[in-house]
Structure 1
Amino acid sequence: METADTTNSDAYVSNSYPVSLNDSSSTSSSSFPVVRFLQAPVTTLFEYSGFLRPRLSNDESESLNLLNNNNSSSSNNHSLSDSGGVSGNDVVGNSEGDVSIRIIGDGEQEGGGGDDGGESVVLSGGGEREVADSSDVDGRSSGNSDSLNQQRYDLQQVSRWIEQVLPFSLLLIVVFIRQHLQGFFVTIYVTAFMYKSNDILRKQTALKGERRLSVLIGYSMIFMFHVVGVYWWYQNDDLSYPLFMIPPKTIPPFWHAIFIIIVNDTMVRQAAMTLKLVLLMYYRNSRGHNFRRQGQMLTLVEYALLLYRAFLPAPVWYRFFLNKEYGSLFSSLITGLYLTFKLTSVVGKVGSFYAALKALSRKEMHYGSYATPEKVSEAGDMCAICQEKMQAPILLCCNHIFCEDCVSEWFERERTCPLCRALVRPADIRSFGDGSTSLFFRLF
């Protein structure tokens, strides 16, 4: 009895250790390991997010091994004490997979003859099936665990490779930025200025009749001086030659070619914004027909700009690809392929510009007609968009009537009726009547 009590108490103590260890590990994992992140940032992020199993320290791994050994020894003691305590039953398994259970009588010894008072029961079929089923389950679970461990190992190797390459890559990026510091600064500056100018132009277009002439003149002068100042600063760098479809005098390096294209593309859009501000001055108090004509003019300017920007990078890349150092045949082949690809991409821009020009020359509206006084009185003489008395009412093909200004502004962004959502405006080209400018760079 003393031995059994000691064994049970040891087992209880050994089983209680992993609980305290897990509690401590869970408590420590709740806080982000800053020191480990500084040593291995990628692996630490994977471990903290749950993709990888957290690595244990040396002390934790040694204590975990000792606890596993104690658990295995205590489980063996339990099995021996249990087999010794049950003093009447024997379970015997033969090599063929059959299980034999022999029940020993009260007066029979374990080593004596068991034919007198004992009974033997042999389980042949079910035992094999149970053993086979358990082995299949164990095999599948072990295969899944192996594949999962392999995936985690591969992910850990990738994270370690990134940690080795990342510092050197950051050093290269820093050196590259230092070598092209002026180019990076100018590119970021002109891009930010262009984004802000586009926002200003859209707000001035939305003001309609509330625009102030002095504000429009001030913005147009700022935009114009900005364009002139950038080209005056780079007057010795062949920056203005591609504007007239003339290739640079010398073959530009790759990053210098990218810089020339980005600056020219941004400055051309800035000059187009100045032209749009002049149009807003002209249509400052526009209503009805003039408001629609303003949107058509802004759209035409934008599609003309897109067509010109499609040709703008061609002189730079023509000079870049036509490099005789790689061989005349190779350079001529690459240049010819580039010009072929460029012409195929320009065809769509020509079609869009022609559609915008055709829409400007068309006098009638393509989404409705002017409503008669009888139709307006039947509709209630109240615009559903502005909730005021209709001014120059327009009858749509779905028989709904709105103010010309309201419905013209609506169809700058939508193609359906504001009330019934019926398709009214055809899908011909995208409208830029709100004064916006395309913000994507045209690099090739």
Structure 2
Amino acid sequence: MEASGGGNSDPYRGSAVTGSSGSSSSSNSRRYSLLSASNLIQAPISTLLEYSGLLRTRPNHLETEPLFHGGVSGGLHGRAEDSTVTSNDGEVSIRIIGAGEQEHHRERAGLVVGQQVREAGGTNEASTRSPAAIAAADGQGDARSGAGEGASQPGNGGSDSEGGETNGRESSYQRYDIQQAARWIEQILPFSLLLLVVFIRQHLQGFFVTIWIAAFLFKSNDILRKQTALKGERKISYLIGISLLFTLHIVGVYWWYRKDDLLYPLIMFPPKGIPPFWHAMFVIVVNDTLVRQAAMVIKCLLLIYFKNSRGRNYRKQGQLLTLVEYLLLLYRALLPTPVWYRFFLNKEYGSLFSSLMTGLYLTFKLTSVVEKVQSFFTALKALSRKDIHYGAYATAEQVNAAGDLCAICQEKMHAPILLRCKHIFCEDCVSEWFERERTCPLCRALVKSADLRSFGDGSTSLFFQIF
């Protein structure tokens, strides 16, 4: 028997290793095969959730087939329990049983049936045994039960297994809820897309105009930042050309919508009539975008004025650009107020309700406007202050002691600045550095306080001011 069992162990082990590697490779192939075109079209959300691992992969037909014709089934990913059975000729057979949910219920049902059969056999034996034998058996049973109780008291294996089964059921319920929600979204997704198409068709002109002016704004912001970074290499003709282009774009859009009450909010007057919700949103977005475009024209004029700026003039150019941006932020915060004031003050909903909504909106708006006013006055103070708040001008002795070479531009220092950390740089180099950073370029010591964000690089805030 020993020779037979040992001779058959190696082939079984080799087949087990081969099966595990094959199952891992097949699981990986199944995972990557989820992102097929048919799965994405039929069930896009469920496919993505299954690919990310949030949902269990849907089984294939090959995985659900029973391993044996006797009715025992199990997944390749389940818990394996092997029981060895020795036959008459000395061969060892291994039966692999999965730990799926159906198999778990099947095992419990088998145990119940086995217990009933054993109880029936026990009653037949008890009827044929003598009273002395029955008494002796009862004594052995009591001893076994006492030993079983004593052994079960120090351990909590049963409670741990029950807690694991409870957590497993809860996680399966959660996965089921996620799967049902994903399927519900997939069901309403085609209808939502149809509604979106109809909405775009109803507001086709406004939809494309909004996309156009937003794309024009983003491109203009990129051009302006590049022109600011060129410093003395900027071309006056190019700056004048883009300024005229920005101006023509603004005038053209307002002329096209001259009958849609776009100009009234610019001077803080509410529209004549009560605007519908989507029309109010369109008026606010168009005005907010074109006002930023007009501010870019002013920034272009500043860049023309400070074309050959160096040292102190370059720092003043950054302060002026920052001041223009914070003034723009303050005006943009006030710009939607007339439109929403007219929208909320609708007497059709009742005087009390409309007055309450208008008062709440104005209260919320006041808090944001106060913040913008504080930022504007902080930028104005920075412009009026002549000293450098992150250092001071270096003397000739300090420059000679540190070396007459700037660590940023690797050239001879022009208007050297001594930082608080005792490092010296050119004023225009370190001013440009502090447009993006707050620390020293060499030692990384904190030099500039975070009192106000700088817009000295010519950038414009791209967030829409809706409310």
CA distance in 2, matches of 1:368, 1:134: 70
Per-residue Cα deviation, 1:368-415 (whole angstroms, up to 9, x for no partner): 222221121111111111111111112223322211111221222222
Deviating more after overlay: 265-274 vs 168-177: 168-177
Q: Give the aligned partner of residue 200 of structure 1.
A: 223
From the superposition, tell whether residues 65 and 149 of structure 1 become closer, same or farther in structure 2 (CA, over 3 Å): farther
Q: Residue 40 of structure 1: which of 37, 43, 47 is its match?
A: 43
Structure 2: gaps (5+ residues): 1-11, 75-80, 89-114, 117-128, 134-139
Structure 1: gaps (5+ residues): 1-11, 83-93, 96-110, 115-119
Note the aligned Cα RMSD (angstroms): 3.5
CA distance in 2, matches of 1:200, 1:215: 11
Query: Deviation of residue 348 (structure 1)?
Result: 1.2
Q: Give the aligned partner of residue 6 of structure 1.
A: none
- Residues 15-414 of structure 1 aligned to structure 2 (within 5 Å): 26=27, 30-32=32-34, 34-56=37-59, 61=64, 63-64=65-66, 67=69, 69=71, 123-128=144-149, 135-414=158-437
CA distance in 2, matches of 1:402, 1:381: 9
Q: Give the aligned partner of residue 105 of structure 1.
A: none
Per-residue Cα deviation, 1:94-116 (whole angstroms, up to 9, x for no partner): 99xxxxxxxxxxxxxxx9999xx
Name the count of aligned residue pairs: 395
CA distance in 2, matches of 1:180, 1:342: 29
CA distance in 1, matches of 2:30, 2:288: 54
**C-alpha contact 2:408 2:429 (8 A) present in aligned 1:** yes
CA distance in 2, matches of 1:29, 1:269: 48
1:441 and 2:444 equivalent? Answer: no
From the superposition, tell whether residues 375 and 171 of structure 1 become closer, same or farther in structure 2 (CA, over 3 Å): same
CA distance in 2, matches of 1:374, 1:23: 72
Q: Give the aligned partner of residue 90 of structure 1.
A: none
From the superposition, tell whether residues 79 and 143 of structure 1 become closer, same or farther in structure 2 (CA, over 3 Å): farther
Identity %: 65
Question: Partner amino acid for 1:222?
Answer: L
- Secondary structure of the structure 1 residue equivalent to 2:207: helix
Query: Deviation of residue 67 (structure 1)?
Result: 4.1
Query: Deviation of residue 43 (structure 1)?
Result: 2.8
- Secondary structure of the structure 2 residue equivalent to 1:402: strand
- Secondary structure of the structure 2 residue equivalent to 1:395: strand
TM-score, scaled to structure 1: 0.79
CA distance in 1, matches of 2:429, 2:50: 57
- Secondary structure of the structure 1 residue equivalent to 2:47: helix
TM-score, scaled to structure 2: 0.76
CA distance in 1, matches of 2:404, 2:456: 27
Query: Deviation of residue 51 (structure 1)?
Result: 3.0
Q: Give the aligned partner of residue 104 of structure 1.
A: none
Deviating more after overlay: 393-402 vs 209-218: 393-402
Query: Deviation of residue 140 (structure 1)?
Result: 3.2
